[in-house]
Chain A
């Protein structure tokens, strides 16, 4: 009896240890004086300081942030329009359109990467900021559409008609009903896109050029010669960003329930 009751926590504990042990080690190592990180030799901010003075890395980080920010914003806007179209209007090939989005979401990154490359080559577009931006928007888009569409589906079917019935024109409809009601989904989509864009390696490595290096690729080339403490620091920072985004997403999507109190 006692064994069976203590088994589930043990089992779950083991799984989570396995999942989070590497991450914890990484975070700890970013504060470790030891350069190789096999033994703990004391606490330090030195690696953070070193990263701060590494302009190449800092540039890459800023590039990543600007791509992620722009891609997330544009993908959210486009995705909103697409979700609204799927929800509100009857048009030919509507089902095909939503199926195609799913396919895009499920297709392997490597396939997408190659297809992007082919398209950019055919168009004669120089690889760099624009090629990165276009491809990031593309792979973020399905996630936005699906998140926003899911919330639209959960709404009262007659909500928009009720607003029209009460005299709201298209503009008021968007400003006073659609945007406020969809705010959680839009926020969550933006954060999701931001994180997706920030840590993409595969597609980015195909579609960026030497003139515009972004963080994940920079890190990737750094670890080829061994994991340096700076990489630990970058990873820790990225982890923090992802964590904050995840918390914000959860907060946004669940705020509605909290409002009851």
Chain B
């Protein structure tokens, strides 16, 4: 069942279109992430749902009720702001109690609920502190407690981990996810950090220039991006260009690559003969061979121009004869833990048949 539904929502600021006919539907109880580069309009979506902005066109529904004209203070949703926005003149307890006080909840009940919320974010003993006496992580937790204590239908989180350092951020990611499961509240989380989006979400919406590029599970977004933007925004990817020569049975096509050579590929998209396509391969899906002299294995010839040891993997940058550069990422093998490349070493690059993801070069509608 969908809890939040946006249909054909448009928003302009000073004549500039920030959102264009955007539609999305968030299911009850899911962790939904809106991911996109800065300026793509993702925060505007959140602000529209919270009620800080009104859409120029389109409808916003909360559990089938139109709310696009409802004022922010009357919407049963709460926001965790990027800057936390704690009230500086109130202590932690008063901050968390604010929403309940506004809802005219009886005093005795407020005390119990605030204490429960603070315990949930592990800040039981901090009730009397003022916001300027808290660390960044603690402020973050107070902001979360202040929002969830009201039992909102939807919790909106606006890049709220981005101010924390890496380690704390990882820890808060896990805590947020646990909190969401425990509370069963729908979370709508906005971020520009693709790693964060993939690791926390049930579903991810990728946004670019005010419109939806793709909505799907993290796995779908990563493994089957619907267009080149999504592919390149989420993680690293190698792109080969090609032309469809012939349609084969079983969703397969014969494609002539721009680098030369013909490949058989599979795709969920339907292509016409002669159509231009992108063949996408993640760095970990490339296979690298180093031939003995005289041998000519399948794939493209190139040379290693950079190699980086990352601990888990050996990442290399390979330049093909055409000048195109590819990124490859190989896990260390038990048999050969000291494996490494020399710079300028000559190699052949190939991929496992069927691991490629092929998309049309023409613009596509999102699923």
Task: State whether the Cβ of A169 lies closer than 8 Å to any Cβ in chain B.
Answer: yes
A161, A169, A177, A259 interface centre (most CB from chain B within 10 Å): A161
Which residues of chain A have C-beta atoms less than 8 A from B98's C-beta? 163, 166, 168, 176
A181 CA / B102 CA spacing, docked (Å)? 18
Task: State whether the Cβ of A211 lies closer than 8 Å to any Cβ in chain B.
Answer: no
Binding site secondary structure of chain A: helix
Considering only residues 175-193 of chain A, those with a C-beta below 8 Å from chain B are 176-177, 180-181
The listed residue (B50, B52, B102, B130) touching A167 by CB distance below 8 A is B102
- Give how many B residues have a beta carbon under 8 Å from the other chain's beta carbons: 29
Interface size band for A:
20 to 34
A155 CA / B83 CA spacing, docked (Å)? 11
A80 CA / B130 CA spacing, docked (Å)? 26
Which residues of chain B have C-beta atoms less than 8 A from A158's C-beta? 81-83, 85
Given contacts A259-B130, A260-B132, contact A165 B83 (CB under 8 A): no
Say yes or no: B102 contacts A260, CB within 8 Å: no
A172 CA / B130 CA spacing, docked (Å)? 21
B327 to chain A, nearest CB (A): 39
Considering only residues 208-245 of chain A, those with a C-beta below 8 Å from chain B are none
The residue in chain B whose Cβ has the minimal distance to the Cβ of A259 is B130
Given contacts A156-B83, A156-B84, A158-B83, contact A166 B146 (CB under 8 A): yes
Say yes or no: A161 contacts B81, CB within 8 Å: yes
Say yes or no: A162 contacts B85, CB within 8 Å: yes
A186 to chain B, nearest CB (A): 13
The listed residue (B50, B51, B87, B103) touching A163 by CB distance below 8 A is B87
Which residues of chain B have C-beta atoms less than 8 A from A156's C-beta? 81, 83-86, 88
Which residues of chain B have C-beta atoms less than 8 A from A260's C-beta? 130, 132-133
A166 CA / B74 CA spacing, docked (Å)? 9
A24 CA / B133 CA spacing, docked (Å)? 43
Task: State whether the Cβ of A157 lies closer than 8 Å to any Cβ in chain B.
Answer: yes
Which residues of chain A have C-beta atoms less than 8 A from B133's C-beta? 260
A181 CA / B130 CA spacing, docked (Å)? 13
The residue in chain A whose Cβ has the minimal distance to the Cβ of B103 is A167
Say yes or no: B79 contacts A165, CB within 8 Å: yes
Type the 1/0 row for B28-56, where 1 means its CB is closer than 8 Å to any CB of A. Answer: 00000000000000000000001110000
Between A and B, 6 residue pairs with Cβ closer than 8 Å are A156-B81, A157-B85, A164-B72, A165-B50, A167-B74, A256-B88
Chain B positions within 8 Å of A, measured between CB atoms, are 50-52, 71-74, 77-79, 81-89, 98-99, 102-103, 130, 132-133, 146-147, 150
Those 7 A-B pairs whose CB atoms lie nearest each other, nearest first: A167-B102, A166-B99, A162-B85, A158-B85, A158-B81, A164-B72, A156-B85
A161-B52, A165-B73, A165-B77 known, 12 other contacts, Cβ within 8 Å: A156-B84, A156-B85, A157-B83, A159-B88, A162-B85, A165-B51, A165-B52, A165-B78, A166-B99, A166-B147, A181-B87, A259-B132
